[in-house]
């Protein structure tokens, strides 16, 4: 039940497969004979310095994967010098995660029908030292995840959604289909709209990242509504099936943003080469989700450290072999995609 919850996508899972496959259709144009003896992967995310552009996406209920859950993930992220995003539906509270020690952390937010719950939670995250809100905007209803329906997925009885424990919203009822889908139908606000993005800015000073944008139109609206950044995401292919892979939607969003706010990507990143491809298409950084929960299940904190180290080393090698010594040297010319015009070749002489 737990493995299926983490691994599956919506309906036919076409987008789940496409999130991976689309990366494989982007090829490199490496530049050679460049001194790559020193490589700098550091960058700044919303003003915070990080060791690399590889960040941790919000994934729910991590204690289903490992007893230490979000604690282990938080410590691994901090050790790697990168940012963890804590899910609203975490099995550890914002205060508990903050207590693991220093680290730059963002908080992913679902907007509940009861806005007092939302306001309270945002204030708690801010008090606990979280630095930004990642507002998930692609989930007015939960996508149809057929494995969860078949398994009648529910949160195991010894766990709770810790952030909501005191509000009688911490438990998930058994259901004939997916317990999570029933929970979302009962609690999450389907009326969520752009005015709510503005409302959020009145209750917090934290910058707001809008997570779940895949079109130019919504990019422009997000910036108009005051978003500090955009996360190009299809929710790990778990919401609407047959949307494009995020790496395919990225360039459209980057062009519409016109450099006004940073654009990030999640979905399908499994290799350092994928990180490079996203940055070449204009992303300021990428978020990983499933690699975190799978490595957490395998080896707890050490597993998450390992996955961050592997991606870091692969990304560094990709930079070196492409002839880039800093992130700003990664350009669109370092890759070729299927939608690029064929490069002009001199006409053959007759």
Find the length of the chain: 350
**Choice among 235, 238, 271, 334 that is catalytic:** 235
Vertex 338: Cα angle to 332 and 341 (nearest 5): 70
Residue 285: its H or E element: strand 285-288
Rounded to whole angstroms, what are the CA distances from 145 to 65, 81, 99?
Answer: 19, 34, 34
Cα torsion 97, 228, 243, 186 to 10°: value is: 50
Reduced to 3 states (helix: H, G, I; strand: E, B; else coil), residue 171 is: coil
Q: Decide if 272 contacts 318 (C-beta within 8 A).
A: yes
Vertex 291: Cα angle to 130 and 52 (nearest 5): 55
Reduced to 3 states (helix: H, G, I; strand: E, B; else coil), residue 300 is: helix
Active site residue 235: yes
Cβ-based neighbour number of residue 42 at 10 Å: 12
DSSP structure string for 327-345 = GGG--GGGEE-TTSPPPP-
Cβ-based neighbour number of residue 144 at 10 Å: 18
Query: Is beta strand 105-109 parallel, antiparallel or unpaired with respect to 84-86?
Result: parallel
HEC string of 85-125 equals: EECCCCCCCHHHHHCCCCCCEEEEECCECCHHHHHHHHHHH
Q: Decide if 284 contacts 250 (C-beta within 8 A).
A: no
Q: Decide if 255 contacts 297 (C-beta within 8 A).
A: no
Q: Decide if 204 contacts 123 (C-beta within 8 A).
A: yes
Reduced to 3 states (helix: H, G, I; strand: E, B; else coil), residue 212 is: strand
Rounded to whole angstroms, what are the CA distances from 106 to 138, 261, 330?
Answer: 18, 17, 26
Residues belonging to the active site: 235
């Amino acid at each position: 039940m737990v493995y299926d919850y983490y691994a599956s996508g919506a309906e036919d899972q076409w987008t789940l497969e496409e999130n991976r496959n689309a990366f494989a259709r982007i090829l490199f144009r490496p530049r050679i004979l460049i001194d790559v003896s020193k490589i700098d992967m550091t960058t700044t995310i919303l003003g915070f310095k990080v060791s690399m552009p590889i960040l941790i996406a919000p994934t729910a209920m991590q204690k289903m994967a490992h007893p230490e859950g979000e604690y282990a993930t938080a410590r691994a992220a901090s050790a790697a010098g990168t940012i963890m995003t804590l899910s609203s539906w975490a099995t550890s509270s914002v205060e508990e995660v903050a207590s693991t020690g220093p680290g730059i952390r963002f908080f992913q937010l679902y907007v509940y029908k009861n806005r007092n719950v939302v306001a309270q939670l945002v204030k708690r995250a801010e008090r606990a030292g979280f630095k930004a809100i990642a507002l998930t905007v692609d989930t007015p209803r939960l996508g149809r995840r057929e494995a969860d329906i078949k398994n009648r997925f529910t949160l195991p009885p010894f766990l709770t959604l810790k952030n909501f424990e005191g509000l009688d919203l911490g438990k998930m009822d058994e259901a004939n289909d997916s317990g999570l889908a029933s929970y979302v139908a009962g609690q999450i606000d389907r009326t969520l709209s752009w005015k709510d993005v503005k409302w959020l800015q009145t209750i917090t000073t934290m910058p707001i990242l809008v997570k779940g944008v895949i079109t130019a139109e919504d990019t422009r609206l997000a910036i108009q509504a005051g978003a500090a950044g955009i996360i190009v995401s299809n929710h790990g292919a778990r919401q609407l099936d047959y949307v494009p892979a995020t790496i395919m939607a990225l360039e459209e969003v980057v062009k519409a943003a016109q450099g006004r706010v940073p654009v990030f990507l999640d979905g399908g990143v499994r290799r350092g080469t994928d990180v490079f491809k996203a940055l070449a298409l204009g992303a300021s950084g990428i978020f990983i989700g499933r690699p975190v929960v799978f490595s957490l299940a395998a080896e707890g904190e050490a597993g998450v450290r390992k996955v961050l180290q592997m991606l870091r080393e692969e990304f560094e090698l990709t930079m070196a072999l492409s002839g880039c010594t800093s992130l700003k040297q990664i350009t669109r010319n370092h890759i070729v995609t299927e939608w690029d015009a064929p490069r002009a070749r001199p006409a053959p002489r007759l």
